[in-house]
């Protein structure tokens, strides 16, 4: 038996770690959860949302470059590299529009914050937030991080496609976990099925083109350890917690269906397609985190942390 084998290589760039790094820069703020889990989730979604959206689009791209399917057991091996670029509107967000409950803008501070794909600007140009509580106002509890200055995501992967029976093809895409040290790990995978519809058309063998339908689902995972100790928190004696067990887990699930048609000409091919896609992102914070009530010591400089202020798995 003669197998249809095709190997294609596309220049692949290393997965950029800046989304994880910038997420870590936000988590490095000792008072990330100072306003409670609801405020923390609103801020993190606004800050990291463009990252999730762009990676979702990258996961959905690159599945189809021809409507033709492989013959049974024919396959191709591809090193793919997909790129997504953020629009200008996703580079910043307004803190005042988030509806925060326990955090408010510090006096003299701007309300415009950078997202993960925003500008790499100076600290003085970024919002500073106060903690608002029944005990009063604790100033400058959280400074928003800067952006990356790079409004794009680059996502390489190894992809293999193999022909099955009835002009059906399966494709699998995979990138192993890459460890970026204190910035965590990133990995992703995907699977797609493509079926050629030309076989159902009259005189199919005489047609100079193929028509196929494809469905794919992909998953990207990022895990970042959170081992920093809040510097402005004063813990009650006897409070202990395992800092090595804390982590932020972010996941992006993407799915799409594509109807495509491509020519079968000797020297060049033309492909056209139409499809539907979706993206879902989620975040979990596991481990034990201090969430202050706003009570301070006699000097007013340190936020007191009692045992009841220690919260397990605040986002799960």
* Residue 232 and residue 302 in contact, taking contact as beta carbons nearer than 8 Å: yes
In terms of residues, how long is the chain? Answer: 316
297 C-beta neighbours (distance < 10 Å), count: 10
What pTM does this model have? 0.82
Which domain does 154 fall in, by range?
Answer: 5-312
Q: Which residue shows structure tokens 């955090």?
A: 103
Measured CA to CA, the distance from residue 63 to residue 221 in angstroms comes to 19
Give the pLDDT of residue 304.
Answer: 94
pLDDT given for residue 177 in this prediction: 86
Q: Which residues contact 96 (CB under 8 A, 6 or more apart)?
A: 105, 111
Q: Which of 46, 113, 99, 36 is nearest to 283 (CA)?
A: 46
Query: What's the CA gap between 115 and 167, in Å, rounded?
Result: 45
With contact defined as beta carbons under 8 Å apart, do 53 and 279 qualify?
A: yes
- Per-residue model confidence as pLDDT tens for the chain (316 residues): 333 343 333 333 334 444 444 444 565 554 678 899 999 999 989 998 888 898 899 899 889 888 999 999 998 888 878 888 889 899 999 999 999 999 999 988 899 999 888 888 665 578 899 999 999 999 988 888 888 888 888 788 889 999 999 999 999 999 888 886 666 788 899 999 999 998 888 876 677 889 999 999 999 998 888 777 678 899 999 888 777 788 888 899 999 999 999 987 777 778 899 999 999 999 888 888 899 999 999 999 999 999 999 999 988 8
Q: How far apart are CA 312 and CA 314, in angstroms?
A: 6
Domain count across the chain: 1
C-alpha pair distances (Å), 1 with each of 71, 166, 231: 11, 17, 69
């Amino acid at each position: 038996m003669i197998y249809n084998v095709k190997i294609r290589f596309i220049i692949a760039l290393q997965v950029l770690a800046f989304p994880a790094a910038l997420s870590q820069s936000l988590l490095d703020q000792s008072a990330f959860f100072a306003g409670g889990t609801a405020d923390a989730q609103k801020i993190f979604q606004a800050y990291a949302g463009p990252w999730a959206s762009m990676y979702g689009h990258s996961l959905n791209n690159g599945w189809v470059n021809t409507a033709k399917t492989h013959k049974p057991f024919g396959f191709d091996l591809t090193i793919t590299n997909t790129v997504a670029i953020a629009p200008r509107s996703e580079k910043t967000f307004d803190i005042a529009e988030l509806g925060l409950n326990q955090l408010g803008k510090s006096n003299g501070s701007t309300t415009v914050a950078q997202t993960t794909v925003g500008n790499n600007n100076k600290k003085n140009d970024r919002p500073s937030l106060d903690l608002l509580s029944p005990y009063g106002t604790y100033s400058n509890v959280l400074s928003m991080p800067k952006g990356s200055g790079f409004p794009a995501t680059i996502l390489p992967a190894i992809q293999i496609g193999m022909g099955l029976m009835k002009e059906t093809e399966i494709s699998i895409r995979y990138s192993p976990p890459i460890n970026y040290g204190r910035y965590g790990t990133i990995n992703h995978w995907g699977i797609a099925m493509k079926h050629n519809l030309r076989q159902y058309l009259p005189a199919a063998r005489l047609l100079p083109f193929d028509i196929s339908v494809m469905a794919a689902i992909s998953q990207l995972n990022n895990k970042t350890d959170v081992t920093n100790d809040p510097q402005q928190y004063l813990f009650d004696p006897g409070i202990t917690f395992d800092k090595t067990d804390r982590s932020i887990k972010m996941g992006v699930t993407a799915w799409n269906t594509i109807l495509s048609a491509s020519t079968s000409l000797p020297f060049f091919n033309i492909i056209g397609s139409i499809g539907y896609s979706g993206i879902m992102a989620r975040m979990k914070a596991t481990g034990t985190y201090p969430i202050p009530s706003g009570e301070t010591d006699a000097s007013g400089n340190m936020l007191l942390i009692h045992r009841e202020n220690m919260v397990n798995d605040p986002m799960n």
